[in-house]
Chains A and B, each alone.
Chain A
Amino acid sequence: MNIHEFQARELFAEFGVATQPGSVAHTAEEAKNVAAGLGGKLVVKAQIHAGGRGKGTFKSGFKGGVHLCETPAEAKEIASRMIGEVLVTHQTGPEGKEVGKIFVGEAVDIARELYFAILIDRSTSSPVVIASTEGGMDIETVAEKSPEKILRLIVNPFLGLMPYQTRLIAASLGLTGPLMTQASKLFTNLYRLFIERDCSMVEINPLVVTPDGKLLALDAKFNFDDNSLYRQPSIIAMRDITEEDPREVEASKFGLNYIGLDGNIACLVNGAGLAMATMDIIQHAGGMPANFLDVGGGATREQVTAAFRIILADKSVKGIFVNIFGGIMDCNIIATGIVEAAKETGLSIPLVVRLEGNNVEAGKKTLAESGLKLESGENILDAAHKIVAAVKAVA
């Protein structure tokens, strides 16, 4: 799960991580009031999850989702041109994203830009801190061009981030004197936030030093461990479903794991590994997958019907590939579910079904006698070739 920038700042405030003063506003008037409570130069930032806001353009023609200004009146004027408008960035796609809220903060003068992140290291089963003097740019680029400028430090989860480790990181970033003290506090509090809110990643880029000697977390990216959300009500409350793919939101209501992709052959599969392999084999056969969809071990009639509806809501879908290995589930029950779902949704595009496993002969018979226009695949590869051919014949 992801959150908005202003929500990240609320978490910083709660855990004592130093950042620039500012607040969220839902209307232009509110933006003016927030600005009036701040000092110095101001920054107004559109709140959408997608990156590239600064270089984005609103559909109204207004340029930039991030603006600097001087007065509360100007902040109000900029806010009025952002709120309710659609912002297009390189990450939103051409349809863009409507801006419902903005962040108004004090603009910060920057002397140095640094990088600081905490994530989970799979090989040591521990949190790992990544820090670099090269802030403000992609860490992958730094890792490629100057790996010696990246510090990796493993944290023992039972001890937590130790004070000496915070000093070690500060020293590696060239933070000395009062800045080292500020850094120790910031890193300690951020680590506490990481653990107590079950993050899987928190990345501060840039972490800045101001000309007057303050250390501030200027921009942050959070990822939360989905497995832990049941015990993080305050994080769940930050979920903004308008930022998520509506098909994924709908799928999650039925216990389906769906991820939209760019192709035109939809797939419906049981098991995550087989679902990935099915996407791959569609491409291997010369087609392009429209989605990842794991219906789980059960694949009930309700789930299959919901899956068909979600798949068919995607207008780029020109064919469906159902790939089920019914290990313990009776294939005939699955076949019945597929037939009923196809009839209920008035399916009119090519459907290829590959069934294997328990009671498969009865399942294949049910499919063959359904009166539906569908093909059966002998194996996964055969089915993949059939759906790719059927979709090409339609196009």
Chain B
Amino acid sequence: MSILVTPDTKVLIQGITGSFGARHAKLSLEYGTKVVAGVTPGKGGQLFEGIVPIFDTVEQAVRETGATVSAIFVPPPFAADAIVEGVDAGLDLVVAITEGIPVIDMMKVKLSMKGSKTRLIGPNCPGLVTPGTGKDSHGGCRIGIAPGYIHKKGNIGVVSRSGTLTYEAVWQLTTRGYGQSTCVGIGGDPINGTSHTDILKMFNEDPETEAIIMIGEIGGTGEEEAAAWAAANCKKPIAAFIAGATAPEGRRMGHAGAIVSGGQGTAAGKIAALRAAGIAVAETPTDMADTLIERIKNG
């Protein structure tokens, strides 16, 4: 098994006719992902690429196609609405790719989701991939914007706040012959749906996942919380990398959530917490996979 999604997961895409959404919907279809529906208000009844039916609402798309997961590509002003629409339609998982959603909107979205069965991943994230068994890992479930071919089916779980650093880690693993169970980008915003700890818990319970790479960055306390949880509960080898050791205090480093303020959220603090939890920390982004492989070999 993988976590969150399998190659059989039926996916719908909110914002499938926008240039960004369309491009990645097409790439997911080529990857072999079961993209069963698109949602663009006002374009219901049309077909995307001649094969994927488009609906006006998520509720209709779910009813007609049985989709259980949504990827959101709609622009920031409409993204909060799109997320809650997915939640209200009873989806299992909503993956918000959109970058730039107002923080106050996300606060309300997050609180309104309490008690719902839906999990939110993101926003401002690359999405997730459960690699398939075909050439270049085709036949898997690709939700979002990650390049599919860098993956390989296997037993390493990857969780990260950053897109390109995830791709670096995945590519290092693949070129060293280590495949992945599932790779999850949780996003770079200060308020997001799923934390490092949430994903570590799933990897820990997933029999297919044997070891984990966890990538973090400055800002917030998510990595520290994950370290504390892992120290007490996780028996699988973990390697970590934290970006932003040289970032100046008080500046947002690209990601809205990547900021050190009042001495909180520093890379040094996170690395110390990870090491204290017995997690192997890679010195540089070049040796993320090697650090994990060494940890696996040393038991």
Residues of A within 8 A of B (CB): 120, 122-123, 125-127, 139-140, 143, 156-158, 195, 198, 200, 225-228, 230-231, 257, 259, 261, 269-277, 279-284, 289, 292, 294, 297, 325, 327-328, 356-358, 379-382, 384
Contacts and interface: CB of A to CB of B under 8 A. Distances in A.
Given A225-B103, A281-B284, A380-B284, 12 more contacts: A120-B103, A120-B107, A122-B190, A123-B221, A126-B107, A140-B262, A226-B256, A271-B165, A272-B254, A276-B246, A327-B167, A328-B147
B167 A325 contact: yes
Interface in B150-200: 150, 160-165, 167-168, 171, 188, 190-191
A328 B220 CA distance: 30
A93 B234 CA distance: 48
Contact of B164 (A125, A327, A382): A327
B246 A289 contact: yes
The size class of the interface chain B forms with chain A is 35 or more
A273 B215 contact: yes
A265 to B, nearest CB: 11
B283 A273 contact: no
Nearest to B250: A223
Interface stretch (B55-63, B66-74, B205-213, B237-245): B237-245
Contact of A280 (B102, B104, B244): B244
Contacts of A381: 284, 286-287
Interface string B122-166: 000000000000000000000001110110000000001111110
B161 A357 contact: no
A71 B191 CA distance: 51
Interface string B220-240: 110000000000000000000
A327 B107 contact: no
Contact of A380 (B77, B262, B286): B286
Contacts of A156: 111
A271 B107 contact: no
Nearest to B286: A381
B158 to A, nearest CB: 13
Contacts of B241: 277
B285 interface: yes
Contact of B162 (A274, A284, A289): A274
B76 interface: yes
A156 B147 CA distance: 39
B246 A273 contact: no
Contacts of A272: 162, 188, 253-255, 258
A158 B111 contact: yes
Contacts of A379: 286
B107 A125 contact: yes
Contact of B163 (A157, A273, A281, A384): A273
Nearest to B282: A277
Top 7 nearest A-B pairs (CB, nearest first) are: A273-B162, A272-B254, A271-B164, A327-B147, A228-B102, A274-B164, A276-B243
A263 to B, nearest CB: 8
B202 to A, nearest CB: 20
A126 B147 CA distance: 34
A283 B163 contact: no
B246 A279 contact: yes
Contacts of B244: 276-277, 279-280
A273 B160 contact: yes
Nearest to A258: B254
Contact of A284 (B100, B220, B284): B284
B103 A261 contact: no
- In the complex, which of the residues A158, A289, A356 has the most CB atoms of chain B within 10 Å of its own CB atom? A356
B251 interface: yes
A125 B110 contact: yes
B164 A325 contact: yes
Given A123-B221, A126-B111, A158-B111, A273 B255 contact: yes
A294 B162 CA distance: 12
Contacts of A198: 102-104
B106 interface: yes
A297 to B, nearest CB: 7
B254 A227 contact: no
Contact of A292 (B149, B190, B254, B285): B254
Contact of B191 (A125, A226, A276, A356): A125
Nearest to A259: B251
Nearest to A284: B284
A261 B171 CA distance: 30
A381 B241 CA distance: 14
B263 A140 contact: yes
B247 A276 contact: yes
B108 interface: yes
A273 B147 contact: no
25 contacts: A120-B190, A122-B257, A156-B111, A225-B102, A225-B256, A226-B256, A227-B76, A227-B102, A231-B102, A259-B248, A269-B164, A271-B165, A273-B255, A274-B243, A276-B217, A276-B253, A277-B285, A279-B247, A280-B243, A280-B284, A282-B246, A284-B283, A284-B284, A325-B164, A356-B171
B163 to A, nearest CB: 5
A297 B185 CA distance: 15
Contacts of B286: 281, 379-382
A257 B103 CA distance: 19
A281 B253 CA distance: 16
A289 B244 CA distance: 12
Interface in B68-117: 76-77, 100-104, 106-108, 110-111
Interface string B256-298: 1110001100010000000000000001111100000000000
